[in-house]
């Protein structure tokens, strides 16, 4: 059987509404995207506190410390067990290094070089970890020169 095409009919889709929509979507997702939370660890279940102050503006040069439920400090590429003395020595070294980096950054920003004045240590602790881990961590941070701490909690249950 033979089909005969008398006229070659090029049918074209009207793309304009689709492109409109797509651009709308892109701009929505662009505005919504948030790179501030890069340092947070999703595996950590924060405790819930309804009266915790909402974090409105990000602190200047924060140091984010994630502590998982086993009381291990998780930093990029490394894990320190806060219950082990030999690991605590490494934590101290790590914090001193970070403190030095933050000092340099602050000087570049023209802020006071004092860590205690501006830099905040954000402690994101898992709800199931033992309190002693936080105590040890805060102590180590204070020895490294940090004085401002922010314990993070979810305002609403997840």
Partner 1 sequence: MKIKRRSDDTKVELRMTPMIDVVFQLLVFFLFSFKIVPTEGEIGVNMPPPTVGAKPKSDEIELTEKVRIRLRAGDDGDLVAISVGENDIGDSLSGLTQLLRENIIGPAGSADDAEVEIDADRHLLYHFIVRATNAIQRAGIKKINFTDPFAPPTKKDKPTANDVIRRHFSGNDMRYP
b/e code 13-42 from CB counts within 10 Å (16+ = b) = eeeeeeeeeeeeeeeeeeeeeeeeeeeeee
Residue from 39, 87, 111, 154 that binds partner 1 (CB under 8 A)?
A: 154
Least distance from C-beta 25 to partner 1, angstroms?
6
Q: How far is CA 113 from CA 51, 64, 93, 105, 110, in A?
A: 32, 19, 20, 9, 8
Output the six-digit token pair for 126: 């898992």
Least distance from C-beta 130 to partner 1, angstroms?
5
CB count within 10 Å of CB 99 equals 19
- The number of residues that bind partner 1 (CB under 8 A) is 53
Distance CA 64, CA 109 (A): 19
80-119 footprint of partner 1 as x/- string (CB under 8 A): ------------------------------------x---
Least distance from C-beta 135 to partner 1, angstroms?
6
**Residue with smaller CB distance to partner 1, 1 or 13:** 13
* 53 binds partner 1, rule: CB under 8 A: yes
Distance CA 72, CA 15 (A): 53
Least distance from C-beta 79 to partner 1, angstroms?
18
Residues 129 and 71: beta-carbon distance below 8 Å: yes
Distance CA 108, CA 116 (A): 17
Residue from 79, 97, 107, 132 that binds partner 1 (CB under 8 A)?
A: 132
Q: For binding to partner 1 (CB under 8 A), which residues are involved?
A: 15, 18-19, 22-23, 25-26, 29-30, 32-34, 37, 40, 46-55, 116, 122, 125-135, 138-139, 142-143, 145, 147-156, 158
């Amino acid at each position: 059987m033979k089909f005969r095409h008398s006229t070659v009919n090029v049918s074209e889709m009207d793309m304009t509404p689709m492109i409109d929509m797509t651009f709308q979507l892109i701009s929505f997702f662009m505005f919504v995207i948030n790179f501030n939370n890069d340092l947070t660890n999703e595996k950590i279940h924060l405790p819930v506190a309804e009266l915790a102050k909402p974090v409105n503006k990000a602190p200047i040069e924060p140091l984010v410390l994630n502590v998982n439920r086993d009381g291990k400090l998780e930093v990029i590429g490394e894990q320190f067990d806060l219950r082990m003395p030999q690991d605590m020595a490494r934590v101290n070294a790590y914090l001193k290094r970070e403190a030095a980096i933050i000092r340099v950054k602050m000087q570049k920003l023209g802020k006071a070089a004092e860590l205690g004045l501006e830099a905040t240590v954000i402690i994101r602790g898992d709800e199931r970890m033992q309190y002693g881990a936080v105590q040890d961590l805060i102590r180590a941070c204070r020895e490294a020169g940090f004085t401002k701490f922010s314990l993070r909690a979810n305002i609403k249950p997840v």
